[in-house]
């Protein structure tokens, strides 16, 4: 049975109206869609084209009603945020193989290794779960038994994050260590200013039983906590000498002004002090090996007069030792030889006649003058 033309027109109009309604419904405004999904209407997810999505998938990742994001290929949606998965170079990787900073107690780690959750009483320090109190977190104090970092005092003494210790009676905590109290209440030696306990055995601080320290004078020493006069003699000072102040000066400390052994120190004057003895400096024997002397004197004449057989000069050397002059052996030997020659000439002159042509009298005192 064929429908009439009027019926067909009604059918076609109904289909067109339905298709137009569907087309209009498919066209939406993004702004209107966003207004339909917001933080207030979608607090636990993200908004995609006006629809509130859970926000936990890589295709729609987000939170607090924000716009959903599409994560990359190496990312995963963790807590509403796209995070890199695996291949961590720093921090640590959590159970979902997502890179974490590695500094939180619940995800602690380094070098991209698996994250660890620190146990109670621990903290994540530089990527490692350690006791909450340690040398890093408690560098200026000490750690109590329950892991607390406290200031170093006598009841909890320590430093550098070490375990606290309780100082004993009569002790104080000084720089993180228990030491004997610095006062005179239990001082076996002597005290300075009533607070500093000294051994009491030195001349600068001499005393006992916590008394005020005494300074001994230069002629005293501290013996059993008392200043006593220094007794210096050959018995008490066998390897030195005794100074005017009564001090024993051993050989290694002596000088030319204070020198001696087993007795009073003395001055060596120009000599040297060696092992408590005043000795002269080493003696050197010097000999003149050669010399060049002109055959004539400065006037161009013979050194010796015609009265002498040898007109050449009679050289000698004088060596100065400590300011004194001392002729050497050559001079002494030559002088003796010259005296012998003069003696022989005197004998020859006496044997000759004293008058005659060309005779000259020998000058008086010439023999001595030539050697002065």
87-134 pLDDT per residue, tens? 788 888 888 888 889 989 889 988 888 888 888 777 888 888 877 787
The pLDDT, as a whole number, for residue 284 is 67
Query: Is residue 11 a part of any domain in this protein?
Result: no
Residue 130 CA to residue 125 CA, distance in Å, equals 7
Q: How many CB atoms neighbour CB 290 within 10 A?
A: 4
Domain-embedded: residue 360: no
> Is 172 within the bounds of a domain?
yes
Amino acid 327: pLDDT: 47
Task: Identify whether 193 is part of a domain.
Answer: no
Distance CA 113, CA 118 (A): 15
How many Cβ atoms from other residues are within 10 Å of residue 107's Cβ?
22
Phi-psi group of 160: left, alpha or beta (phi > 0 → left; psi -120 to 50 → alpha; rest → beta):
left
Q: Do residues 124 and 103 lie in contact, with contact meaning Cβ atoms separated by under 8 Å?
A: yes
Q: How many domains does one find in the chain? A: 4
Buried b (16+ CB within 10 A) or exposed e, 3-17: eeeeeeeeeeeeeee
Q: Are residues 89 and 148 in the same domain?
A: no
Q: Same domain for 158 and 109? A: no
Measured at the alpha carbon of residue 253, what is the angle toward residues 251 and 256, in degrees to the nearest 5? 80
Beta-ladder partners of 66 = 46
Give 241: exposed, middle or buried? Use CB within 10 Å, 0-12, 13-18, 19+.
Answer: buried
- Give whole-number Cα distances, 135 to 121, 126, 145, 151, in Å: 15, 13, 15, 13
Rg (CA), the chain: 59
- For position 21, what pLDDT does the model report? 42
Residues 6+ apart with CB under 8 A from 313: 293, 297, 303, 304
pTM comes to 0.24
Q: Is residue 231 part of a domain?
A: no
Q: Are residues 94 and 153 in the same domain?
A: no
Residue range(s) defining the domain that contains residue 273: 240-279
Same structural domain for residues 35 and 102?
A: yes
Task: Kindly write down the DSSP assignment for every residue of 237-295, as one continuous string.
Answer: -TTEEE-TTS-EEEGGG-BTTBB-SSEE-B--TTSEEETTEEEPPPP-----------S
Pairing of strands 211-212, 107-108: unpaired
Confidence (pLDDT) at 47: 93
- On whether both 43 and 111 belong to a single domain, the answer is yes
pLDDT score of 186: 76
Residues of the chain with pLDDT under 50: 1, 3, 15, 17-34, 323, 325-330, 356, 358-372
Q: How far is CA 29 from CA 36, 52, 55, 179, in A?
A: 11, 16, 22, 82
- The contacts of residue 266 (CB under 8 Å, 6+ apart) are 241, 258, 259, 260, 278
Cα separation, 33 vs 88, in Å, equals 39
The pLDDT value given to residue 189:
87
- Within a domain: residue 194? no
In degrees and rounded to multiples of 5, residue 61 shows phi and psi of: -115, 130
Per the document, the length of the chain is: 372
Lateral strand order in the sheet of 46-48 = 51-53, 46-48, 66-67
Q: Alpha-carbon distance 174 to 222, whole Å?
A: 30
Residues 152 and 88 in one domain: no
- Where are the strands (E) in 20-176, listed by range? 46-48, 51-53, 66-67, 75-78, 81-84, 92-93, 99-100, 103-104, 107-108, 113-114, 122-125, 128-131, 142-143, 149-150, 171-174
Q: Are residues 84 and 151 in the same domain?
A: no
Q: What is the pLDDT of residue 257?
A: 92
Phi, psi angle pair for 272, to nearest 5°: -105, 155
280-312 pLDDT tens trace: 766 666 777 777 888 788 888 877 765 556 777
Residues 47 and 88 in one domain: yes
Q: Is residue 169 part of a domain?
A: yes
Residue 159's alpha-carbon distances to 171, 176, 182, in angstroms, are 16, 5, 20
334/274 same-domain check: no
Instruction: State which of 105, 125, 145 marks the end of a domain.
Output: 125
Closest CA to 82 of 104, 57, 103: 57
Number of C-alpha atoms within 13 angstroms, CB side, residue 89?
Answer: 0
């Amino acid at each position: 049975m064929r429908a009439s033309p009027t019926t067909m027109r009604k059918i076609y109009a109904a289909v067109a109206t339905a298709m137009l309604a569907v087309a209009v419904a498919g066209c939406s405004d993004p702004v209107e869609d966003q207004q339909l999904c917001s933080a207030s209407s979608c607090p636990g997810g993200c908004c995609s084209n006006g629809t509130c999505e859970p926000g936990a998938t890589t295709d729609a990742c987000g939170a607090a009603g924000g716009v959903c994001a599409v994560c990359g290929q190496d990312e995963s949606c963790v807590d509403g945020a796209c995070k890199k998965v695996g291949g961590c170079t720093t921090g640590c990787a959590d159970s979902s193989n997502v890179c974490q900073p590695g500094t939180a107690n619940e995800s602690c780690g380094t070098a991209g290794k698996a994250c660890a959750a620190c146990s109670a009483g621990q903290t994540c320090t530089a990527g490692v779960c350690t006791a909450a109190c340690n040398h890093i977190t408690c560098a200026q104090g000490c750690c109590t038994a329950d892991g607390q970092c406290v200031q170093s005092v006598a009841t909890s003494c320590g430093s550098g994050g070490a375990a606290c210790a309780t100082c004993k009676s009569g002790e104080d905590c000084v720089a993180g260590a228990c030491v004997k109290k610095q006062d005179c209440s239990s001082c076996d030696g002597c005290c300075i200013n009533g607070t500093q306990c000294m051994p009491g055995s030195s001349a600068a601080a001499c005393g006992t039983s916590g008394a005020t320290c005494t300074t001994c004078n230069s002629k005293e020493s501290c013996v059993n906590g008392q200043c006593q006069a220094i007794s210096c003699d050959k018995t008490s000072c066998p390897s030195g000498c005794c100074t005017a102040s009564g001090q024993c000066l051993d050989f290694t400390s002596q000088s030319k002004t204070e020198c001696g052994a087993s007795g009073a120190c003395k001055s060596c004057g120009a000599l040297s002090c060696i092992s408590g003895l005043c000795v002269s400096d080493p003696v050197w024997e010097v000999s003149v090996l050669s010399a060049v002397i002109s055959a004539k004197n400065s006037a161009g004449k013979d050194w010796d007069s015609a009265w002498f057989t040898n007109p050449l000069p009679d050289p000698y050397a004088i060596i100065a030792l400590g300011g004194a002059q001392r002729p050497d052996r050559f001079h002494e030997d030559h002088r003796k030889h010259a005296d012998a020659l003069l003696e022989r000439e005197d004998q020859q002159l006496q044997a000759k006649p004293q008058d005659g042509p060309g005779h000259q009298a020998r000058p008086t005192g010439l023999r001595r003058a030539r050697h002065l």
